[in-house]
């Protein structure tokens, strides 16, 4: 459509020119004494148009001639920029390919070319960021080559470059450099250095998944159980782990937090730090109860901590049920009838479960129900496959036999308890 309109316009212009020029009888007379020159008006118009075109071409040529030095300079700068970016691409490719010496050499080449451009007054708008990235690549390569001094030098130069840069991307680049520095410190088992780098991050950057993962590793390396637990919670909320992995990690860190306590008050403080879901974990509750008893805590308090885990005993794995059984046995002193009813109800609901029979027997012993306790222990010894619990069951049977004065039965029970 556009081509058709152009053709119509061209035809119209041709017709207009033909109508005007064909019947134009005008003349232009030029007096140049002693001559007189008569020219047709159409010829004069053509000469004027040709002169204007010739003048325009001459001016345009002169301008192009004057632009040649600047174009040559621009071409040289463009070649230097291309070489600099090519060196950066080569450094990145060599780093990814594991050729660290070549990567560092290419990064240094890019730095030299960027400095040459800046020194000539023709620096790039993103020159400082490119120089920072080149220093980071050189530092990463030095770290892989176990060249600590080189890594420290290039890291310091990268941060110094960022200090002088007020561009929009400088803040994000600084965060990335700090994260890489924290990762390098972790590789060298320098937990304090890694945490120091992470502390320099802004609040928003510190809550990113990568920063939290690094903080978790550094805190665990430093033995900071509480900080590790809080970081693991944040990572679980960010879905950085699968639910199963997150649960295992939180359970491990909660137990580590309890292991740091040294007296009853510290155990209770650590227990209050845990979230309700963490307190309901059987392993965590059992560990907390045993730790409380070791530090001289109350048996009633320990049983209260174990109650949420006990209420889900039907869904527990054998190892978890074993830990819960040992913890309950540890805090059976002063057990009340309410707990006895809970234990007996669980044992009657699952009569084939030896752990429940064992703990029900211990509860009966604490309430002086000797006959029932002996019956439950004898049933438990037939099904228990855990050496520790089996030995304890035989030991309790020996104590009951001695109490009723049955020396042969007591001797046999003690021998079974001592058998490996």
Q: Are 245 and 266 in contact (CB under 8 A)?
A: no
- CA–CA separation, 141 vs 144, rounded Å? 5
Please check the confidence at residue 123 and state whether its pLDDT lies above 70.
no
Decide if pLDDT at 70 tops 90: no
| In the block, residue with structure tokens 């991307």 | 169
Residue 35, beta-bridge partner list: 32
The whole-number pLDDT of residue 18 equals: 65
Are 325 and 285 contacting, i.e. CB atoms less than 8 angstroms apart?
Answer: no
Q: How confident is the model at residue 81 (pLDDT cuts 50, 70, 90)?
A: confident
**Token duo for residue 293:** 């008893």
Per the listing, tokens 């320098």 go with 190
pLDDT of residue 72: 77
Contact between 322 and 389 under an 8 Å Cβ cutoff? The reply is yes
Which of the pair, 260 or 46, is modelled with greater confidence?
A: 260
Residue 418: half-sphere exposure toward Cβ, Cα within 13 Å: 7
The per-residue pLDDT of the chain, averaged, comes to 85
For tokens 């174009």, the residue is 71
48 in the Ramachandran plot: left (φ > 0), alpha (ψ -120 to 50) or beta?
Answer: alpha
Q: Where residue 168 falls among pLDDT bands split at 50, 70, 90?
A: low
Residue 159's alpha-carbon distances to 68, 132, 133, 173, in angstroms, are 40, 8, 11, 10
Give residue-wise pLDDT tens across range 85-98.
888 999 999 999 99
- Nearest Cα residue to 88 out of 61, 58, 117, 108: 108
| pLDDT at residue 286 tops 70 | yes
Tell me the CATH number of domain 332-420, given options 3.30.465.10, 1.25.40.10, 3.40.50.170, 1.10.260.40: 1.25.40.10
Q: What is the DSSP letter of 201?
A: S
pLDDT (mean) for 50-60:
89
Q: Where are the domains of the chain?
A: 77-167, 275-330, 332-420
Per-residue model confidence (pLDDT) at position 107: 92
pTM, two decimals, is 0.74
Q: Are 390 and 371 in contact (CB under 8 A)?
A: no
Taking the C-alpha atoms of residue 245 and residue 224, their distance in angstroms, rounded to an integer, is 20
pLDDT for the residue 218: 92
DSSP line for 105-134: HHHHHHHHHHHHHHHTT---TTHHHHHHHH
| pLDDT tier for residue 362 given thresholds of 50, 70 and 90 | confident
State percent of the chain over pLDDT 90.
24
Residue 396: is its pLDDT beyond 70?
Answer: yes
Average pLDDT over residues 32-48: 77
**Residue 253 — very low, low, confident or very high, per pLDDT cuts 50/70/90?**
very high
Q: What is the pLDDT of residue 420?
A: 63
């Amino acid at each position: 459509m556009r081509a058709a309109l152009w053709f119509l316009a061209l035809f119209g212009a041709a017709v207009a020119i033909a109508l005007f020029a064909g019947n134009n009888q005008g003349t232009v007379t030029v007096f140049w004494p002693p001559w007189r020159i008569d020219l047709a008006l159409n010829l004069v118009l053509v000469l004027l148009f040709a002169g204007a075109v010739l003048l325009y071409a001459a001016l345009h040529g002169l301008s192009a001639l004057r632009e040649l030095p600047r174009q040559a300079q621009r071409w040289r700068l463009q070649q230097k920029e291309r070489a600099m970016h090519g060196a950066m691409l080569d450094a990145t490719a060599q780093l990814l390919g594991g050729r660290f010496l070549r990567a560092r050499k290419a990064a240094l080449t890019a730095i030299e070319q960027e400095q040459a451009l800046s020194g000539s007054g023709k620096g790039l708008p993103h020159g400082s960021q490119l120089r920072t990235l080149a220093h980071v690549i050189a530092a990463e390569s030095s770290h892989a080559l176990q060249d600590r001094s080189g890594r420290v030098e290039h890291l310091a130069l990268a941060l110094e470059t960022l200090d002088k840069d007020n561009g929009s991307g400088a803040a994000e680049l600084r965060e990335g450099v700090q994260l890489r520095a924290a990762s390098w410190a972790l590789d060298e088992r320098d937990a304090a250095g890694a945490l120091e780098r992470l502390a320099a991050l802004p609040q928003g950057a510190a809550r990113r998944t990568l920063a939290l993962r690094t903080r978790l590793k550094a805190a665990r390396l430093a033995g900071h159980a509480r900080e590790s637990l809080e970081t693991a919670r944040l990572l679980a909320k960010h879905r950085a782990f699968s639910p199963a992995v997150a649960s295992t990690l939180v359970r491990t860190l909660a137990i580590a937090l309890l292991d740091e306590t040294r007296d009853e008050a510290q155990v209770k403080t650590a227990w209050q730090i845990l979230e309700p879901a963490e307190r309901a974990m059987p392993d965590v509750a059992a560990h907390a109860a045993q730790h409380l008893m070791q530090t001289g805590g109350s048996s009633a308090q320990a049983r209260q901590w174990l109650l949420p885990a006990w209420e889900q005993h039907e869904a527990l794995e054998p190892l978890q049920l074993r830990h819960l059984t040992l913890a309950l046995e540890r805090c059976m002193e002063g057990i009340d009838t309410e707990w006895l009813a809970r234990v007996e109800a669980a044992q009657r609901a699952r009569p084939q479960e030896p752990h429940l029979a064992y703990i029900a027997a211990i509860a009966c012993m604490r309430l002086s129900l000797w006959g029932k306790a002996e019956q439950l222990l004898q049933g438990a010894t037939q099904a228990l496959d855990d050496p520790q619990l089996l030995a304890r069951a035989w030991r309790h049977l020996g104590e009951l036999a001695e109490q009723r004065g049955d020396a042969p039965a007591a001797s046999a029970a003690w021998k079974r308890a001592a058998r490996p």
